[in-house]
Amino acid sequence: MRRLCLLLIALVAAATSPLRAGDRLDVVASFSILGDFVRQVGGDKVDVTTLVGANGDVHVYTPTPADAGKVAAAKLVVINGLGLEGWLPRLVQSAGSHAPIVVASTGIAPLHDGAEADPHAWQSVANARLYVANIRDALVKADPANASYFQDRAKSYLAELDGLDREVRAAIAQIPPERRQVISTHKAFGYFARDYGIAFIAPLGVSTETEPSARDLARIISQVKAAKIPAVFLENLTDDRLIERIAAETGAKVGGTLYSDSLTGEKGAAPTYIAMVRHNIKALTSALDHP
C-alpha cells in the first residue's frame, strides 16, 4: 500500500513537475499575433509554438495531429477567446492536455456584430496592452522563478505599445475627416474603428466563414459609390477577387493590404504586432490623406 502511494505521488509529481533551472517554458499560442506577444514578454525563457502560422486564417482552421502533440507538451496555452478559436476545445481534449488555458482578451469590453462577439480586440492598441498584461501574469504564475524577468520585459513592451498608440492617433489626425472611410474584406477592424475614428465597411462578417450574397455585394457597391469611399483594401488571409471586383465596379482605388488576423513571416511586411500596426496605418494614410 505504501509503495503504491509513493508510486502515485511520483506519477502526480511527474505530471506537474516544476521547471528545472535553465528549462524554457513550453507555451502554445493559438495564432501568430498572440505568439508574438508571448515572445515579447517571455524572451528566452519560453519556447513558443503557434498553431495558426503566418498568413493563416484562425477563423476556419483545422488542427493537425501534430498540433495535438504540441498542445500535449505545452505548460501553458494562450488563446484569444471571444469565440475566435471554435476548433480549440476539441483539440485540447484530444491532446489530453491539462495545461492552464489563458484567455488573453480577458477584461476587454467586447464589441458585437449582431449577436456575435467581435473577436478582433487586438486591433485596438489599448486592448493589446491588456492582452500583454494577461500574458505576463500567466507566465509569472507558470514560472515564478522568472517573475521579475517577465515583469521587466512586459514593462518595456507596454511602454512601446503606448508609443504605438500615439503614433496611430497622430497618423489618423493627418487624414481629412471626410476621407476616414474604407472597405476591407471582413469585419476585422471594429475595435480599430472605435478607438481611432476610421469607418470600415466589409462584405464579410466578423468571421471569414461565409461568402457574401450577391445582394450583400450589390449593397456594398452602392454604399461605396454613395459615400464616395476613396479606397478598398485587401487582407492577407482572404481571397483578393472580392475586393478587386468592388474596386472595379466603383472606381475606388485598391489601397494595398491590411494585416488583420495574422502576421507575416520574418521577411514579410508584418512579422510582429508592432510592425503590423505600423504597416496598416501607413497603408491607410497613404491611400486616404489626399485625393
| Under 8 Å between Cβ of 183 and 234 | no
Q: Give the interface segment with Zn ion, choosing from 6-14, 37-45, 184-192, 226-234 (CB under 5 A).
A: 184-192
Residues within window 143-172 making contact with Zn ion, judged by CB under 5 A: none
**Closest CB 186 distance from Zn ion, rounded Å:** 5
Q: Which is nearer to Zn ion, 46 or 188 (CB)?
A: 188
Nearer to Zn ion, 33 or 138 (CB): 33
Q: Which of residues 90-109 bind Zn ion (CB under 5 A)?
A: none
Tell me, what amino acid is at 284? Answer: L
3-class secondary structure, 257: strand
Cβ distance to Zn ion smaller for residue 45 or 187:
187
Helix (H, G, I), strand (E, B) or coil at 281: helix
88-95 and 65-73 are packed helices; what angle lies between their axes, rounded to 10 degrees?
Answer: 70
Nearest residue to 100 (alpha-carbon basis) of 78, 81, 80, 85:
78
Does residue 34 belong to the site contacting Zn ion (CB under 5 A)? no
Q: Is 67 in the site for Zn ion (CB under 5 A)?
A: no
Under a CB-based contact definition with an 8 Å cutoff, are residues 69 and 48 in contact? no
CB of 242 to Zn ion, least distance (A): 14
The reply on whether position 188 binds Zn ion by CB under 5 A is yes
CB of 120 to Zn ion, least distance (A): 6
The least CB distance from residue 126 to Zn ion, in Å, is: 19
> What's 86's DSSP letter?
T
Cell numbers representing residue 100 in the block? 492552464
Instruction: End-to-end CA distance of the chain: give it in Å, rounded.
Output: 83
CB of 280 to Zn ion, least distance (A): 14
261 binds Zn ion (CB under 5 A): yes
Tell me 39's DSSP state: H
Contact status: 26 vs Zn ion (CB under 5 A) = no
Query: Could you give the angle at the alpha carbon of 17 between the alpha carbons of 37 and 148, nearest 5°?
Result: 40
Looking at 39-47, 71-79, 149-157, 182-190, which segment touches Zn ion (CB under 5 A)?
182-190
57 binds Zn ion (CB under 5 A): no
Residue 59 or 153 having the CB closest to Zn ion:
59
Between CA 58 and CA 69, with CA 63 as vertex, the angle to 5 degrees is 125
CB of 82 to Zn ion, least distance (A): 11
Identity of the residue numbered 85: E
CB-wise, 128 or 154, nearer to Zn ion? 128
Q: At its nearest, how many Å lie between Zn ion and the CB of residue 168?
A: 19
Smallest distance from Zn ion to CB 264, Å: 16
CA gap 283, 256 in Å, rounded: 6
Residue number, 48 or 258, with CB nearest to Zn ion: 258
* Per-residue cell: 285: 494614410
Rank residues 127 and 250 by Cβ distance to Zn ion and give the closer one.
Answer: 127
Angle of CA points 90, 87, 208, to nearest 5°:
170
Which residues in this chain contact Zn ion in the complex, by CB under 5 A? Answer: 188, 261
